[in-house]
């Protein structure tokens, strides 16, 4: 209500071409004269006080408004958002998302909803219905923190997901821990066999990125490319990543 929460954006990279394909919106709560409160902390509290619904609505509004601003400038960045388990049992959540996107003329297929594997597993029956509605709307669905949620492969194949996001604990251990290497390789193969996109999060070193390319990973995100930054730093960040300011939109007049 105080208008304190803001969104930072972290680029997601196509490993083969180096192109920035999109950004993940990550909420921040800056504190005057002090370090920001980590989202893990206040999201947890929001989830246990009923505040996660208004929080998610705010994040949705801010991210879609930003996507619209970039689109109005001819910049077509896919926007990824995080949803909580509580959002999936919220009546009308898909209608709200649809209406917000429509009001801003942001095409649903340029938006990705990230749900952690444990979220999806928390209430499989209910979740499945909402995920199908989201897919019908046309938004992408990424299974976040993949590899940590103990989902059965049989269940996974029934999910209408479009992307697996390999948890950073495995990505950060590539090269150092042979088990992590095997897990990352298995997730990449699984994604390929199920026809899902695969993105690695938490890529911090060039050696990790090189290994991911060897293993056939398509997309990556991490401090190697950029930390999450406020929206006004996105143009400079993309320039540093050697992007001509993205594909111009056909409709854009600039």
Q: Which residues bind ligand C2E (CB under 6 A)?
A: 10, 26-27, 38-40, 43, 59, 82-84, 114, 144-145, 168, 201-204, 222-223, 228
> Is-contact 5 55, C-beta < 8 A?
yes
Minimum distance from residue 250 beta carbon to ligand C2E (Å): 30
Overall residue count recorded for the chain in this entry: 254
Nearer to ligand C2E, 227 or 247 (CB): 227
Residue 100: partners with Cβ closer than 8 Å, 6 or more residues away: 60, 61, 64
Taking the C-alpha atoms of residue 212 and residue 107, their distance in angstroms, rounded to an integer, is 30
Minimum distance from residue 126 beta carbon to Ca ion (Å): 21
Dihedral sign computed on CA atoms, order 162, 170, 84, 39: negative
Minimum distance from residue 80 beta carbon to Ca ion (Å): 7
Minimum distance from residue 253 beta carbon to ligand C2E (Å): 32
From the list ligand C2E, Ca ion, none, which binds 238 (C-beta under 5 to 8 Å, kind-based)?
none
Taking the C-alpha atoms of residue 80 and residue 116, their distance in angstroms, rounded to an integer, is 13
Nearer to ligand C2E, 29 or 245 (CB): 29
> By the criterion CB under 5 A, which residues form the site for Ca ion?
82, 114, 144-145, 201
Dihedral sign computed on CA atoms, order 155, 161, 165, 167: negative
Nearer to ligand C2E, 128 or 224 (CB): 224
> Is-contact 146 187, C-beta < 8 A?
yes
Nearer to ligand C2E, 1 or 195 (CB): 1
Nearer to Ca ion, 8 or 249 (CB): 8
- What is the end-to-end Cα distance of the chain in Å, rounded? 36
Minimum distance from residue 52 beta carbon to ligand C2E (Å): 7
Give the other-Cβ count within 10 Å of 16's Cβ: 10
């Amino acid at each position: 209500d105080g208008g304190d929460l803001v969104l930072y954006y972290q680029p997601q990279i196509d490993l083969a071409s180096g192109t920035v394909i999109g950004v993940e919106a990550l909420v921040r709560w800056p504190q005057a004269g002090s370090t920001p409160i980590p989202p893990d902390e206040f999201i947890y509290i929001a989830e246990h006080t009923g505040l996660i619904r208004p929080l998610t609505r705010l994040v949705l509004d801010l991210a879609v408004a930003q996507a619209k601003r970039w689109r109005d400038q001819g910049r077509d960045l896919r926007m990824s958002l995080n949803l909580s388990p509580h959002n999936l049992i919220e009546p009308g959540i898909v209608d709200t998302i649809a209406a917000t996107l429509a009001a801003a003329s942001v095409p649903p297929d340029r938006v990705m909803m990230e749900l952690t594997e444990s979220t999806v597993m928390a209430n499989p029956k209910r979740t499945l219905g909402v995920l199908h509605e989201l897919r019908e709307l046309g938004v992408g669905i990424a299974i976040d923190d993949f590899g940590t949620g103990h989902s059965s492969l049989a269940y996974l194949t029934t999910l209408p997901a479009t992307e697996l996001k390999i948890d950073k604990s495995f990505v950060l251990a590539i090269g150092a821990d042979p088990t992590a290497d095997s897990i990352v390789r298995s997730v990449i193969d699984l994604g390929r066999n199920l026809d899902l996109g695969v993105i690695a999060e938490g890529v911090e070193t060039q050696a990790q990125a090189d290994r991911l390319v060897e293993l056939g990973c398509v997309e990556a995100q991490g401090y190697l490319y950029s930390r999450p930054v406020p929206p006004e730093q996105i143009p400079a960040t993309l320039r540093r990543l050697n992007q001509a300011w993205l594909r111009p939109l056909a409709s854009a007049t600039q």
